[in-house]
Structure 1
Amino acid sequence: MSRIPQASIAGVLRGFAELLLTVGALLAALAFYLLVWTNLQTAAAQKDLLQEFRSQQQTDQTGQAGRQTRPGTGDGLNVLHIPRLGKDWKRVVVEGVDMKSLNTAPGHFPDTALPGQVGNYAVAGHRATHGEPFADLDRMVAGDKVYVEAANGWFTYQVTWSRIIAPNHTEILAPVAGKPGQAPTARTLTLITCHPRWGSTERLVVGAQLVEERSLAAGPPEGMDS
């Protein structure tokens, strides 16, 4: 039986080592893109969206909370403030839940209510990468406040429930969350993200109900930064 030349074995090992180095470099580049670069891109997009939103606030002359016009897909709608997720946590919400929109901000489901309206104001957001706005949504408990800063007013929602559901349970987007066909009487908020954090086999959902509404002139709700 002929023996394999040592030079050939060394060549195979060298090629295998080079392959491992290449794969390692590609994985490192992918990790950098997902964990760093997408977050930087989203932070830049949020900065621009917030500037546009503040400009809209300054030019809004209605002074009546709840009367809003729907923006186009990807446009800023309002600003969420959630103290449970961080003292200075705030994110501009955009219209639409397509991937391009969600990569810049939490997105409002277009067929659901607007903030302050009777019905279900539903918002989805990433839990990992692209700014990971809802990374810690699982920390929210009943009684937590969610403040929605609209162009013409403030809306304070209080968390009443949270649950984990299957991705196909779209009835959570009904005017009465989880009860399709039922006519709404309350003004509610539903926050939706993937579960577990680095997977998408399920959805983590947090529900809240409107407890206060005030004009911009009245200033931010008491306890917003608590």
Structure 2
Amino acid sequence: MRVVGVAGEVMLTLGVLASLFVVWQLWWTDVVGGRQQEAAVEEFRTSIDTPGRETQPDLPDVAANPTPSDQPPPAMPSPDPTEVFGILYVPRWGQDYAVPLAEGVDVATVLNKGSIGHYPGTAMPGQVGNFATAAHRQSFGAPYRHVEELRPGDPIIVETADGWFVYRVTEDYIVTPDRVDVVAPVPGQPGAEPTRRLITLTTCHPLYSAAQRWITHGELAEWYPRAGGAPAQLMEEP
């Protein structure tokens, strides 16, 4: 009977530990990831002195409604590993959605910090090719938690030190994890010469599983130099 009692206590302890792990994985890491996101966004905004932050701390000033540039976007050098080089905004996910973009897709040093990671070697924002990104869909801030809600035409806006790049969603689909060609310069066509300026969002699918990958593509619609202020698309209604 004593052995049975000890075994029961061990099982109970393991059950409690498993429950605590689930709480940590699904809730606490989100709390920590959210705080890290806010800190990184604030630090980046401060570093580039975003206009309007004095009156609208959550979003830059969009009252100016600047005119998009008719010139090609400026070339942006590749950032250092883990460096935060921009902010991603998705109006459909809320006016308070603003998540840092960091170089690399390492889980421990980028994705688990709440950032959206940029696949090294893919295009930078605004460039011809595929600006390919990855982020968690659950836990650690879950930047791409609501990726399935995006619809064709929705704006995805990237802010960098050079300006604002407004992409529009074109399509989404689900693939197996080995389909690395989705981040090729021409998605699905490795080796093809790119002519379009694309963005790609990749994340695990379904929720609470890594069995597949959800892929969303978009194409650059316009870009705005920093000096003119933030574009009105930041406040676009879904």
Larger Rg: 1
Structure 2 CA distance for aligned equivalents of residues 67 and 46 of structure 1: 26
**What's the counterpart of residue 5 of structure 1?**
none
> Aligned residue pairs: how many?
213
Aligned with 1:35: secondary structure?
helix
Whether 1:213 and 2:223 are equivalent positions in the alignment is: yes
Shift of 1:82: 0.6
Which has the higher mean CA deviation after the structures are superposed, 165-174 or 15-24? 15-24
Q: What runs of 5+ residues in structure 2 fail to find an aligned partner?
A: 51-71
Shift of 1:65: 5.3
8 Å CA contact retained: 1:65, 1:154? no
Q: Please point out which of 78, 92, 108 is paired with 1:84.
A: 92
8 Å CA contact retained: 2:87, 2:100? yes
1:88-103 matches, cutoff 5 A: 88-100=96-108, 101-103=110-112
Structure 1 CA distance for aligned equivalents of residues 28 and 74 of structure 2: 36
CA RMSD of aligned residues (A): 1.7
Aligned with 2:49: secondary structure?
helix
Whether 1:157 and 2:167 are equivalent positions in the alignment is: yes
TM-score, normalization: structure 2? 0.84
1:53-72 matches, cutoff 5 A: 53-58=44-49, 66-72=74-80
Aligned with 2:174: secondary structure?
strand
Aligned with 1:205: secondary structure?
strand
8 Å CA contact retained: 1:96, 1:110? yes
Asked which structure has the greater RCO (Cα within 8 Å, sep 6+), the reply is 2
Structure 1 stretches (4+) deviating beyond 4 angstroms? none
Shift of 1:51: 2.8
Q: What runs of 5+ residues in structure 1 fail to find an aligned partner?
A: 1-8
TM-score, normalization: structure 1? 0.88
**What's the counterpart of residue 28 of structure 2?**
37
1:1-226 matches, cutoff 5 A: 9=1, 11-58=2-49, 66-100=74-108, 101-104=110-113, 105-225=115-235, 226=237
Q: Which deviations, in whole Å up to 9, do the C-alpha atoms of 1:148-170 show, x marking residues without a partner?
A: 11112000000001000111111
Percent identity reads 36
Shift of 1:25: 1.5
Aligned with 1:182: secondary structure?
coil
Shift of 1:77: 1.5
Aligned with 1:146: secondary structure?
strand
Shift of 1:107: 0.1
Structure 2 CA distance for aligned equivalents of residues 223 and 186 of structure 1: 21
